[in-house]
Amino acid sequence: MSAPQILMQRGLDRPGESHRLEAYEAVGGYRAIRKALSMSSEAIVEEVKKSGLRGRGGAGFPTGTKWSFIPRGSESPTYLICNSDESEPGTFKDRWLLENDPHAVLEGMMIAAVAIDCHLMFNYFRGEFSYPLARWRAAVDEAYAKGYLGKGIFGSDHDLEVVTHYGAGAYIAGEETGMIESLEGKKAQPRNKPPFPAVEGLFRSPTVINNTETLATVPWIVEHGADAYAQYGTEKSRGTKLWSCSGPIARPGVYELEMGYDLMQFLEDDLGGMLDGVGLKGIIPGGSSVPVLTPDECRGAKLDYEGLRERGSLVGSGGFIVIGDNVSAVDCLLNLAHFYAHESCGQCTPCREGCGWIEQLVDKILLGRGTEADLAMILRISDLMAGKTICALADAMAWPAVAFIKKYPDDFAALCAGPVDMDALAAEVGKRDHILPRAS
């Protein structure tokens, strides 16, 4: 790899025991929080801003800037939430961190809490994460036993408590305002914004919500400095990123790469290429909700926020899903449509009706009963969904639907009951092409 293993070094250096406090401290753990407690909260925020760290959960929003939105001197308490509701299909890097390096996540939360003057923080877990939850709870117990949590952490005057919340396995709870609703004991249905969580979040108080990987990166930045982190990556995509890699490849798993790494070099060298007898059909680079890339689009693509957007896709959550040429694009889309139809919270009509409708139409095509009109209808429904709901779940369905039909029209046409005018289909795709991510 061309960058230091900022996130994964401890787990790799101490296999089998990296999750323990003693092993974490043996490689420098909890030095960063001690340093942070000697700094002003404003200085911590500025250091994270200067590092260029962006949210690793999907949106890619600058982390330090998000922290800076918290009003100073608020009469209401300030809360921090770690988003460990990793439910994006194809993504499992947060699970790796929680199982192998939970203290790095906890220390990152502590530093963020000091930066925003928070004294009560939460970690919201995906409902299916029983093993990561056990590792996390053990780490929290160790920290409390050592006096690292509770009254006057590390001999300072900063009191800090942590609450672990175990969700019920709802994908929509991963959306930050849906998560807030869930923590308040309500259905995990996203809120209209504004107000944004930094102004009015959990219990109507200022709240910061960060992804697990984002927070696990913070200790390295504080300990080594923003300049040390910012020297890796690209001008607008700093540092390193974890990628969850799956599909018919020789070496699937979680990998840490410097931002800007060449996509095909990653596939062919680091992942060992495709399995014998299987060719490359496409890659979904950022989890199931982002548009698929064809082999031609993959060549020369860079794994960073700007590089993937230039190719019409996104970094997203880093779920690097490789698709073999022995798989039909129709099968892929039906799988995704079934997921999003099931996970829609039902609050917004375009999403509630659109996801299920697309699933029915794709299923009809797969069964050989579809028509050209059904393909056109999928594209039209996608257009009526994207950007027209409270949260981005509708977009998460619309983007793959348009992308798969646009890039693999022959797969769909081959299964339709009657002939498909490919020129007319291309024209329909062109009308909806505006909903896909664009280079900014």
Using one digit for the tens of pLDDT, what is the confidence trace for 269-301?
999 999 999 999 999 999 999 999 999 999 999
For residue 11, the model assigns a pLDDT of 53
Mean pLDDT, residues 220-244: 95
Residue 1 has a pLDDT of 41
pLDDT at 438: 80
Task: Report the greatest alpha carbon distance in the chain.
Answer: 75
pLDDT of 3 over the 60 cut: no
CA 421 to centroid of chain Cα atoms: 38
Question: Residue 215 pLDDT more than 80?
Answer: yes
Integer-rounded Cα radius of gyration of the chain? 22
Q: Which domains does the chain have, with CATH numbers?
A: 9-230 (3.40.50.11540), 240-324 (3.10.20.600), 329-435 (1.20.1440.230)
Residues composing the chain: 440
Mean pLDDT of all residues belonging to the chain:
94
**15 pLDDT tier (thresholds 50, 70, 90):** low
pLDDT tens, position by position, 129-178? 999 999 999 999 999 999 999 999 999 999 999 999 999 989 999 999 99
Mean pLDDT of 225-244: 95
Residues 6+ apart with CB under 8 A from 273: 249, 250, 267
- Please tell me which residue, 30 or 5, carries the higher pLDDT value: 30
d(CA 12, CA 10): 5
pLDDT tens readout for residues 383-424 = 999 999 999 999 999 999 999 999 999 999 999 998 999 999
Mean pLDDT in residue range 31-38:
97
Would you state the pLDDT for residue 59?
84
Give the Cα separation of 428 and 308 in Å (integer): 24
216-238 mean pLDDT: 95
Instruction: Answer yes or no: is pLDDT of 2 > 50.
Output: no
